[in-house]
Structure 1
Amino acid sequence: MPDLYSSYTDLAGHEIEGVAYERRSVPVASATWCSIAIHGGGIEAGSGEMARYVAAGRMQHYEFAGILPSGNSRLHVTSTHFDEPICQGIVFNSRRCLSFHGYTGVAGVPETSLGGLDTDTAARIGDALTRAGFRVVTAAQEINGNDPANIANRTLLGAGVQLEMSNALRASFFPGGDLSRAMRDSGQRTPAFYAYANAVLSAYNNQGMVSQGSINVSRWTTVSWSSADVDVVCAMGTDKLATGGPHFLHLVGRYQDASNNYLARLACNTDQTITLTLRKRVSGTETLLATASNTGGLVHAPGRMFWVRLQITGSTLRARVWQDGAAEPPDWAVIVTDSSLTAAGAIGTRSILSTANTNTLPVTASYDGFQQLTPQRMTVTRSVNGIAKAHAAGAPVQLAQPAIVAL
């Protein structure tokens, strides 16, 4: 059925806020993700509650909620026409967006139709939901969220994730399958609600930030890895342009301790160029192994993220870099052979500011999508002062808590 209103602007000219609908938002300082429900309340019951719980102090949150005693479907504004300014401000300034919706689906079949242009994040969420026992299907064209104008895709990356939850699935989140406002407002939830939310959050928790309050101090974040061969990838960036001296961000492999490890280092230079190098630290001495001759003309900017991939196989080290939102290049930017470190060790990240750096501190380093690409999987069990420990658990490697770690 066509929408009654062509946009939020149209709706707001005919409906009374506080009587027909409410706008709810919760800001979270320094959050780079947002969790939204533009058809919350009684429009697509259960979508707002899920978006709110997933956000819960981790992400920016927005909900447009229908609060009419009945007939809330008339308040539905399609995602490509949703021009509500608070929501736009949140999404436009977020790197990633999770947009929760509801659809009818097949009677009695609890399932999620996944869509949106952020296919990497959607794939991680789909895998996590499947492992948790939830049915996931590829969204049909009419609800696939692939239109660039969809509010979920209006992020800094131009991509988001749309989670369409069937009636049966949303009903399973509340005792007795009761989707009424009274039940939803009561706070009662079933174990399925929390299992679903935690599965979605497992795709979020492999990102984090490190607040660097001093120069020339290393901040390490690592997880154990049982194999000497590693293949890790992560997006990284900083919140300021480098002044005086570079910002250094690293992927780490075969980490024995802070004095013995291999590094793929991304330097954010004072002229905004990017330099990628392979390095080693042996007995506390850091040595340059090789410098990439071509990084594709990448330009550093505050908040701009760059993917780095580090592969160590036997005595061969490889690395490459590309800007977030672009395709991974097929060729390695730098390759070198070194046999100084041969034993298995941890994987992770290192953040450090040049001794010449003159930025107003702190400088915040951001990491997102950290993943070990070989079959072994791990999850964080605890994180203390930015140093995360892990155990094998059948999920993507999670490196740091999703909050600023101030060291």
Structure 2
Amino acid sequence: MPDLYSSYTDLAAHEVEGVSYERRSVPVASATWCSIAIHGGGIEAGSGEMARYVAAGKMAHYEFAGIKATGNFDLHVTSTNFDEPICQGIVFNARRCLSFHGYTGAAGVPETSLGGLDTDTAARIGDALTRAGFRVVTAAQEINGNDLDNIANKTLLGAGVQLEMSNALRASFFPGGDLSRTMRDSGQRTPTFYAYANAVLSAYNNQGMVSQGSINVSRWTTIPWASPDLDIVAAMGTDKLAVGGPHFLHLAGRVQDTNNCYLARIACNTDQTLTLTLRKRVSGTESLLATASNTVGLVHAAGRMFWVRFQITGSTLRARIWQDGTAEPPDWAVTTTDTSLTAAGAIGTRSILSSANTNTLPVVASYDGFQQLTPQRMTVTRSVNGIVKTHGPGAPVQLAQPAIVAL
């Protein structure tokens, strides 16, 4: 069925705000993610409630909610034509967007059709939902969210995630399957609602930011890892261009302590180039093992993120790098061998500013999507507040609170 209105602008010229619809938004200082529902209220019932709960002080939130007694679907404006300015302002300034929707789906089948151009985040969410027992399918073309004009893809990365939740799934979020406004406004939710939201949030909770208020001081975030072999990946970047001297961002493995470990390091240089190296620290002395021969085309910019994958197997160390929003390259950028450190140890990150750096401080280092790819059961102790959480094979690993922290 075609939309009654061609855009929000068209809708606003014919409908009365506060009578037919409401616009709800909650900005969150320093948030880099947003959670939106442009078909909330009675349009696609349950989508707004899920988007609101997932945001909950962690992400910027927006909802366009139909509040008519009947006929709310008349307020549906397709994602590629949604030009409401508050929503645009929120999404345009976010790195990642979760856009919650509803669709009919097969009768009685609770499922999520995942789409959007942010395929890395969509894959993490899909894995988390599947592990939590939810059915996830690849979205059909008409609801796959892959159009560049889709509001979810208007982020700083030019990509977002679209979660299309079937009618049966959304009904399972409320007691008795009741999607009425009275039930939704009552605040009552089923355990299924919270299980779904928490699974989605697990893709968000493995990010962190480190505020660096001084030069030449290392900030570490580490967790135990029971095997000497490891395969870790994370996106990383800084909020400023490097001035005077580089910003150094690392993945760390076989960490016995901060003086004994292996490192895959990005140097964000003052000419905006990037240098990827493999390094070791032994008895507090750091030395270079190998340098990637080709990082041409990778340009550092404030807020731009780059993925690094770091693998150690036996005596072989290797790493690769690629820009967030692009495909992981098939080949390793740098490989070497070393036998200085052979025992299992922690995994994690290290952030440090060059002693020559003259940036106005602090410089904030961001890490996103930290994950240990090797299948293994593990217990993770978060160094921030001491909570112990157990992650299954391939699960994202939370290293830091999703907020600015000085470690």
TM-score w.r.t. structure 2 length?
A: 0.96
Hey, what's the Cα distance between the residues in 1 that align with 2:142 and 2:294?
42
Corresponding residue number in structure 1 for 2:92: 92
Counterpart AA for 1:393: G
Hey, what's the Cα distance between the residues in 2 that align with 1:83 and 1:346?
47
Superposition deviation, residue 260 in structure 1:
0.6
What is the 5 A alignment of 1:142-181? 142-181=142-181
Corresponding residue number in structure 2 for 1:267: 267
Gapped runs of 5+ residues in structure 2? none
Hey, what's the Cα distance between the residues in 2 that align with 1:217 and 1:292?
25
What is the 5 A alignment of 1:217-232? 217-232=217-232
Counterpart AA for 2:137: V
Counterpart AA for 1:233: V
1:221-278 CA distance string (max 9 Å, x none): 1121111111111110000011111111000010111111000110111111111111
Q: Relative to structure 1, is the Cα distance of residues 134 and 330 closer, same or farther in structure 2, using a 3 angstrom cutoff?
A: closer
Q: Relative to structure 1, is the Cα distance of residues 22 and 392 closer, same or farther in structure 2, using a 3 angstrom cutoff?
A: closer
Match of 1:165, SS state, is strand
What is the 5 A alignment of 1:72-83? 72-83=72-83
Q: Does 1:40 align with 2:40?
A: yes
Paired positions, count:
406
Corresponding residue number in structure 1 for 2:392: 393
Match of 1:384, SS state, is coil
Counterpart AA for 2:251: L
Hey, what's the Cα distance between the residues in 1 that align with 2:360 and 2:377?
38
Q: Relative to structure 1, is the Cα distance of residues 378 and 158 closer, same or farther in structure 2, using a 3 angstrom cutoff?
A: farther
Corresponding residue number in structure 1 for 2:131: 131
Corresponding residue number in structure 1 for 2:187: 187
Q: Is the 8 A contact 2:384 2:401 kept in 1?
A: no
Q: Is the 8 A contact 1:255 1:262 kept in 2?
A: yes
1:329-386 CA distance string (max 9 Å, x none): 222222221110000111110001111111111111001111112112557453417x
Counterpart AA for 2:249: L
Q: Which shifted more, 350-359 or 371-380?
A: 371-380
Match of 2:200, SS state, is helix
Superposition deviation, residue 396 in structure 1:
2.4
Superposition deviation, residue 398 in structure 1:
2.5
Q: Which shifted more, 319-328 or 42-51?
A: 319-328
TM-score w.r.t. structure 1 length?
A: 0.96
Hey, what's the Cα distance between the residues in 2 that align with 1:140 and 1:52?
25
Hey, what's the Cα distance between the residues in 2 that align with 1:285 and 1:231?
24
Q: Percent identity?
A: 87
Q: Is the 8 A contact 1:383 1:389 kept in 2?
A: no
Hey, what's the Cα distance between the residues in 2 that align with 1:290 and 1:90?
42
Q: Is the 8 A contact 1:46 1:179 kept in 2?
A: yes
Hey, what's the Cα distance between the residues in 2 that align with 1:388 and 1:329?
36
Q: Is the 8 A contact 1:388 1:400 kept in 2?
A: no
Superposition deviation, residue 392 in structure 1:
4.3
Q: Is the 8 A contact 1:255 1:347 kept in 2?
A: yes
Q: Relative to structure 1, is the Cα distance of residues 267 and 292 closer, same or farther in structure 2, using a 3 angstrom cutoff?
A: same
1:69-94 CA distance string (max 9 Å, x none): 11111000000110111111111121
Superposition deviation, residue 171 in structure 1:
1.1
Superposition deviation, residue 297 in structure 1:
3.1
Measured on the aligned residues, the alpha-carbon RMSD in Å equals 1.6
Hey, what's the Cα distance between the residues in 1 that align with 2:46 and 2:315?
53
Corresponding residue number in structure 2 for 1:104: 104
Hey, what's the Cα distance between the residues in 2 that align with 1:381 and 1:150?
39
Q: Relative to structure 1, is the Cα distance of residues 20 and 392 closer, same or farther in structure 2, using a 3 angstrom cutoff?
A: closer
Match of 1:158, SS state, is coil
Corresponding residue number in structure 2 for 1:26: 26
Superposition deviation, residue 388 in structure 1:
8.6
Corresponding residue number in structure 2 for 1:350: 350
Hey, what's the Cα distance between the residues in 2 that align with 1:367 and 1:278?
19
Match of 1:298, SS state, is coil
Gapped runs of 5+ residues in structure 1? none
Superposition deviation, residue 52 in structure 1:
0.4
Q: Which shifted more, 244-253 or 148-157?
A: 148-157
Hey, what's the Cα distance between the residues in 1 that align with 2:111 and 2:327?
30
Hey, what's the Cα distance between the residues in 1 that align with 2:229 and 2:39?
47
Q: Is the 8 A contact 1:379 1:398 kept in 2?
A: no
Counterpart AA for 1:85: P
Corresponding residue number in structure 2 for 1:306: 306
